[in-house]
């Protein structure tokens, strides 16, 4: 990212930063991102999810569609994503609308998951109270036996969301806290940007 002459769109710089974070092992999960939502009562909530896809249409993550985060999105699809790589002194902030990806996209990603993660998607009623971990493990064991010689189908209640790139801010740390900040906004498919003070 050239902060002296920013490109007209943030998509290529974002793709570059994601690749660099992975190459440099910026942290144990370089594509972990804080997802912030607002529930029906107007209360904010944040949690970490994993970026599983990115292009000019948005950033993709996967979850249980009955989870707290999914319920928040159902009530208010305006969300925020925050990536932070401390050792690289970089941060990306994305604001946009979260919409479900197609069933085909969810199927494709689900098939790529580790088998235990596939079974776990069925076993866990995400965000619901759990009396004992033993109950969860027993459920996983029963489902593993059920599909012992078959592929695990994707649950209808599990899939992806794509967050649109309505606002994107790239932040690069510098000495003396004289950081570089560029904020992109997209309106009707057209990008514009502003340099922000640190």
Query: What is the C-alpha to C-alpha distance for residues 1 and 182, in angstroms, rounded to an integer?
Result: 10
Which residues have a Cβ under 8 Å from the Cβ of 11 and sit 6 or more positions away?
Answer: 55, 56, 165
Residue 195 annotated as catalytic: no
Strand partners, 181: 171, 196
Strand partners, 99: 162
CB 80 within 8 A of CB 95: yes
CB atoms within 10 A of CB 107: 13
Among residues 150, 177, 181, 195, the one annotated as catalytic is 177
Helix/strand/coil for 64: strand
Dmax over CA atoms of the chain, in Å, equals 60
Which residues have a Cβ under 8 Å from the Cβ of 68 and sit 6 or more positions away?
Answer: 39, 45, 126, 127
Residues designated catalytic? 177
């Amino acid at each position: 990212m050239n902060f002296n002459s920013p490109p007209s769109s943030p998509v290529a710089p974002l793709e570059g930063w994601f690749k660099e974070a992975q190459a440099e092992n910026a942290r144990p999960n370089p594509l972990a991102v804080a997802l912030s939502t607002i529930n029906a009562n107007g209360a904010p909530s944040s949690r970490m999810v994993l970026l599983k896809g990115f292009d000019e249409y948005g950033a993709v993550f996967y979850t249980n569609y009955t989870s707290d985060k999914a319920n928040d999105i159902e009530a208010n699809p305006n969300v925020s994503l925050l990536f932070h790589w401390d050792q690289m002194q970089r941060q990306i902030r994305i604001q946009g609308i979260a919409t479900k990806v197609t069933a085909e996209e969810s199927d494709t990603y689900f098939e790529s998951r580790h088998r235990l993660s596939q079974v776990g998607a069925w076993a866990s009623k995400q965000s619901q109270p759990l009396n004992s971990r033993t109950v969860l493990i027993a459920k996983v064991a029963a489902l593993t036996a059920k599909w012992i010689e078959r592929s695990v189908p994707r649950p209808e209640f599990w899939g992806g969301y794509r967050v649109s790139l309505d606002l994107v801010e790239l932040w690069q740390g510098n000495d003396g806290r004289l950081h570089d900040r560029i904020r992109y906004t997209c309106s009707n498919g057209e990008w514009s940007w502003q340099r922000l003070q640190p």
